[in-house]
Copies of this chain bind each other. A is one copy, B any other.
Amino acid sequence: MKPQAAYDELLRRSRERALLASCAAVLAWDEDTYMPAGGAAHRADQLAYLAGLEHDQATDPRLGDLLDAVEDSDAAGAPAAAANVREWRRLYDRTSRLARPLVEETARVTSLAQQEWAAARRAADFGRFRPWLERVVALKRREADALGYDDEPYDALLEEYEPGARSRDLAGLFGVLRAELAPLAERLAAAPRQPDVGVLRRDYPADRQRAFGEAAAAALGFDFTRGRLDAAVHPSSVAVGPGDVRLTTRYDPHEFSDAFFSTLHEVGHGLYEQGLDAALTGQPAGDAPSLGLHESQARLWENAVGHGRAFWEHFYPLARRAFPEALADVALDDFHFAVNRVGPSPIRARADEVTYDLHVLARFELERALVSGELGAADVPAAWGEAYRRCLGLTPRDDAEGCLQDGHWAAGMFGYFPTYTLGNVFAAQLYARADADAGGLDAAFARGDFGGLLEWLRVKVHRRGAVVPAARLVEEAAGGPPDPRPLVAALRRKYGELYKAP
């Protein structure tokens, strides 16, 4: 077969797989938002069937022949084509190494394990989840062996979420973060000046939270003719297609921060999806190169923008108009200090910017040890307690706020957690460079203008898709390779000023 014909056929099949995946995306979004309870069992059948079709397509041996015909040919010469061929090969080789019985058993066991995890968490009883965690870990170890690795099995799993990332590098990165952030968090917790977070726990009617969140999303550049924001149990972002990006958040009428900053976080994911090159839809080159880079866009808008003083200079008068009962007696500085409170807490999902990566570090150490076999599933609660004492200086009250708090392991997502911290690291690097390029973004933010930052990200990140891998994209956009120091520097500067502590 001629290389160009092989490339065209690979492209056709890639678009078909993407269409199938995007059908599943609509079904998943619908499950989270509008599906009646009675539809759950049938929805599981639908999604399992689509996943099976997708797996069959992804492992069709014909793909191997087509790739052989196109690799090292002119047809794979242009940057986007080269990226496509590289990703098609990577995905085909990975997927083909996983025998169907292992894939099916993993799907079945993780589906049941997630139900058992939810029940165990409700009962705060790790013992109930332990046999399931053992089975999931055993399956992921088999998966890592089937996939292959150079240094350690955890690398094989990392590759699923962050292509090219390696445990050894991550350990170095986390080492820097721990050495800097743990003492910073301690200093801030001990500082005499502390915020009053009670103002965030007043009455914030859900419908007004929704209107305020939508207004903020639109002001940041989220295009509601090509997207939506709905209520759901968990915040999420689902890209159905280039013109159809669905965000969800959740509203607690007695708390302001959770819904609002979740919305900004998902808006960050959504702006990335809306900014991808629509001409490359259905091609790996037109997609995000890694979860860490995707997360960076979410954390950048949530934290560097949305937790900043300049952002609230513009939005606080609007917030006061939306919630006069709650905020009439609260000054801008006090509100801004409250949404930026730092303090160690047992729950990752509610952690502040400074301690967040320490939660991720604990999980990274534990799951790396589980996958290598150094740590047995039965010993997880003890190891979790030890890690939290060491990283965050606290002891969880029970398993529910300890090792059962996150569902990732039940779902088999070993290797996912580090992408949260890579997201924070990348975001700090990108934001520092965008800020420098603009000669300071705060003045624009203070007058409600976020278009300059968005355009910088469109050019430097969004439109580039996966034409280069994530680490190289960050290097080209930010001017240096992935590096935790800009994150540390930004946090020290910001919180030193806020807490008036050195």
Question: Contacts A223-B38, A226-B38, A244-B39 hold; do A46 and B22 have CB atoms under 8 A apart?
Answer: yes
CB-based contact B19/A46 at 8 Å? yes
State in angstroms the CA–CA spacing of A55 and B43 once bound together.
Answer: 22
CB-based contact A241/B30 at 8 Å? no
Confirm or deny: A242 has a beta carbon within 8 angstroms of a beta carbon on chain B.
yes
Question: Contacts A26-B30, A27-B26, A30-B30 hold; do A243 and B46 have CB atoms under 8 A apart?
Answer: no
Confirm or deny: A45 has a beta carbon within 8 angstroms of a beta carbon on chain B.
yes
State in angstroms the CA–CA spacing of A30 and B230 once bound together.
Answer: 14
Copies held by the complex:
2
Confirm or deny: A50 has a beta carbon within 8 angstroms of a beta carbon on chain B.
yes
CB-based contact B38/A22 at 8 Å? no
State in angstroms the CA–CA spacing of A79 and B223 once bound together.
Answer: 54
Confirm or deny: A439 has a beta carbon within 8 angstroms of a beta carbon on chain B.
no
Most B CB contacts (10 A, CB to CB) among A34, A38, A227 go to A38
Chain B residues near A242 (CB, 8 Å)? 38, 42
Confirm or deny: A23 has a beta carbon within 8 angstroms of a beta carbon on chain B.
yes
Chain B residues near A22 (CB, 8 Å)? 42, 46
Chain B residues near A46 (CB, 8 Å)? 19, 22-23, 26, 241
CB-based contact A34/B36 at 8 Å? no
CB-based contact A225/B38 at 8 Å? yes
Closest to A29 in B: B30
Confirm or deny: A352 has a beta carbon within 8 angstroms of a beta carbon on chain B.
no
State in angstroms the CA–CA spacing of A473 and B226 once bound together.
Answer: 47
Confirm or deny: A228 has a beta carbon within 8 angstroms of a beta carbon on chain B.
yes
Chain B residues near A281 (CB, 8 Å)? 42
Chain B residues near A45 (CB, 8 Å)? 19, 241
Chain B residues near A243 (CB, 8 Å)? 36-42
CB-based contact A244/B19 at 8 Å? no
One of B39, B227, B228, B230 near A241 (C-beta < 8 A): B39
CB-based contact B43/A244 at 8 Å? yes
CB-based contact A227/B36 at 8 Å? yes
Convert A14-39 into 0s and 1s, putting 1 for each residue whose CB lies closer than 8 angstroms to a CB of B. 00100110110011001001111111
Confirm or deny: A49 has a beta carbon within 8 angstroms of a beta carbon on chain B.
yes
Confirm or deny: A149 has a beta carbon within 8 angstroms of a beta carbon on chain B.
no
Confirm or deny: A240 has a beta carbon within 8 angstroms of a beta carbon on chain B.
yes
Closest to A22 in B: B46
State in angstroms the CA–CA spacing of A299 and B223 once bound together.
Answer: 42
Residue pairs across A and B with Cβ atoms less than 8 A apart, 29 shown, are A19-B45, A19-B46, A20-B49, A22-B46, A23-B23, A23-B49, A26-B26, A26-B27, A33-B34, A34-B34, A34-B228, A34-B230, A36-B225, A36-B226, A36-B244, A37-B225, A37-B226, A37-B243, A38-B242, A38-B244, A39-B240, A39-B244, A42-B240, A42-B241, A42-B244, A43-B241, A45-B241, A46-B241, A53-B53
Instruction: Name the 6 nearest CB pairs between A and B, nearest first.
Output: A38-B243, A39-B244, A42-B241, A38-B226, A19-B49, A37-B225
